[in-house]
Homo-oligomer: A and B are copies of this chain.
């Protein structure tokens, strides 16, 4: 007895159904969908008609299994809610929405171990490309990236030794530029306030330190950091801590804009004049910086563009054309505003 046509999977149309309806072989349907130029004009039309009529949508799982390559970009970021990474992800998403590629998102929670675990899992899906935040992977993670067998783009930062490709900017230079700006504006006892001291924040701190030392102004007591997750309320607390240590503080370079905003609010609350008594510089330049009162000087970073560029490079690599430039530095921009206009 012939097995009744009981599909395990809910009876959605398959490529065979389309082929039957269009009067062609299944493989021709497959080609018409993926490489239309290799199928004659006429068949292409017939097949398209059958696809439309049946509402056929290819099964990505079957496709991935057969072709040993999933149409998936693995994306690893340390936080989902931090606006900075959300913007990178948005850039990636927007650049990918016109392509057949999906996004597989992973949140490392700033943990190297978690990153290793996720890379392991992602690897099992044979992704088309991997985009990871940061350049400080553990040796194991690095090995996993190198053996992923797909383009890899490290984003947010540039460094000397890419796994494959890189898009970002120099956090060290960003920190130095911010600090030099404060020095030029006439501030002297300039503090560094940093939460969640991940490797990028460390390098911003190093840039701060370089600028301060060059000006003969460095003093370790000016540096206030914590491993705690960054937030606006935390910025407020940290300014209090910093002032308790160094009452003569007359400027702060903040790790990021959340902290800077918290610092600004604390200044209001404590009736500390900004920029007169204390100057403030943030990092990233979220859009609220320009409307804060006073508006806050910040280092503008190109997060969205980093996401777009990373995808463009990965797509080019997938298409076989390794870009000549494997490290792309998108730079940053110092936005001078009222908070440092003494």
What residues of chain A have their CB less than 8 Å away from a CB belonging to chain B?
8-10, 12, 57-62, 64-65, 68, 70, 80-81, 83, 86-87, 89-90, 93, 97, 102-105, 107, 120-121, 123-126, 149, 231-233, 235-236, 258, 261-262, 265-266, 268-269, 287-288, 290-293
| Docked-complex contact A60 and B293, CB < 8 angstroms | no
A-B pairs with the 8 shortest C-beta distances? A9-B68, A232-B288, A268-B293, A57-B124, A61-B64, A81-B86, A8-B68, A80-B90
Q: How many copies of this chain? A: 2
List residues of chain B with CB within 8 A of the CB of A57: 120-121, 123-124
User: Chain B's nearest CB lies how many Å from the CB of A60?
Assistant: 6
Known pairs A57-B121, A93-B105. 16 more at Cβ < 8 A?
A8-B68, A57-B120, A58-B124, A59-B65, A61-B70, A62-B65, A80-B90, A81-B83, A81-B86, A86-B86, A104-B104, A105-B105, A231-B287, A233-B288, A261-B288, A269-B293
User: Chain B's nearest CB lies how many Å from the CB of A302?
Assistant: 15
| Docked-complex contact B81 and A90, CB < 8 angstroms | yes
Given A124-B57, A124-B58, does the pair A236, B90 have CB atoms closer than 8 Å? no
